[in-house]
Amino acid sequence: MQRALDLARKGTGLASPNPMVGAIVVGNGEVLGEGFHRYESRDHTEIVALKSAGERARGATLYVSLEPCCHAGRTGPCTDAIVAAGIARVVAAMKDPNPKVAGRGIERLRAAGIEAETGVLEEEARRVNEAFAFWVHAGKPFVTLKSALTLDGQLALPGSRKPSGNQDDARWITSPESRAEVQRMRHASDALLTGIGTILADDPLLTDRSGLPRRRRLLRVILDSGLRLWPRSRVVESAEDDVLVFTLASTKSATARQLARAGVQIVKAPGERGRVRLDGVLKELAKRDILSVLLEAGSELNGAALAAGVVQKLFLFYAPKVAGEDGVPFTRARKLVLPPLENVQFHRFGPDFAVEGYLHDVYRNH
């Protein structure tokens, strides 16, 4: 099963909006076939593994990281293919959170006389597809708030933001190891969300620079209520229909037309007290098959997102540095009180450490 989960992770950036799934066919202690899912290839993981095994699959065991589907979608039911291949036993890490399956795949296999079970390395399997499960049940993307902080909880060091606005000139808070991990996090996300304040202060690219293949470009989403986005900013100049701006301003203004000509998508968003409503943004992203969003923002948007309850997970990088009174705080939100994080994990990246935790039990509730 560990091998099946490792294969599933190979689908990072390639499977969405489908779940990441890996499978391995084993017979007489020998690996007969294996595979993982790529959205563009259409074939589900089980089919890939069964084709790899061929006739040797008869009487073998299939280990799969997610319960086989029993309904027709872009492809036929995987359960039918498993039965036809003569598989004797199926071990799934977890049940499919999709209500169209949700245990029915296992029931179908058992009805066909195949020994079937779930629950092997289930927690690890749930982490692999936490965004898919949340999207299926909640109808909106899974949001991870990522920040790089000093030990005293500041987002920037004094003097780190240059008048030029070029992020390449800034003094990084965290180490190269942490920044490489951020690129891996971007690669694993369907969209990156930030506010216009970050764009104006840092002029970032917001791209996936992991060097790993992905099926669709990382969608760069900017909340800009007054449409202040500068047409000569790096994010606009690098736009290839992968920049989406939510605004309260007119979408027919000269600025909006100029941004649209540059390849930026402008969406009129619902607002409240002069700010773009985050729930409306997430609903629109869900319609676009965005399963996972990485929030990389400043104090104001961090605070607004946490106060609105739209964040599922925090991933906070801490560098062994102190900013002092002239830093930029992690959040600016009045009377913000959060519950203790759940399922907390700690990581090391070079000289830095990171805290990963959930704002509610996504496994229990979704």
Annotated catalytic residues are 46
Q: Are the CB atoms for 36 and 63 separated by under 8 Å?
A: no
Residue with tokens 């029931």: 107
Q: Cα separation of 292 and 170, whole Å?
A: 28
Q: Say how far residue 192 (Cα) sits from the centre of its chain.
A: 9
Q: Cα separation of 193 and 297, whole Å?
A: 7
Q: Are the CB atoms for 44 and 21 separated by under 8 Å?
A: yes
Q: For residue 361, give the nearest of 347, 341, 345 by alpha carbon.
A: 341
Helices of type H across 162-267: 176-187, 196-202, 234-237, 254-261
Q: Cα separation of 79 and 72, whole Å?
A: 10
Q: Are the CB atoms for 33 and 43 separated by under 8 Å?
A: no
Structure tokens at 202: 């840092």
Q: What is the helix (H) or strand (E) element at residue 107, kind and residue range?
A: helix 104-111
Q: For residue 213, give the nearest of 187, 192, 238, 191 by alpha carbon.
A: 187
Q: Is 109 left (phi over 0), alpha (psi -120 to 50) or beta?
A: alpha
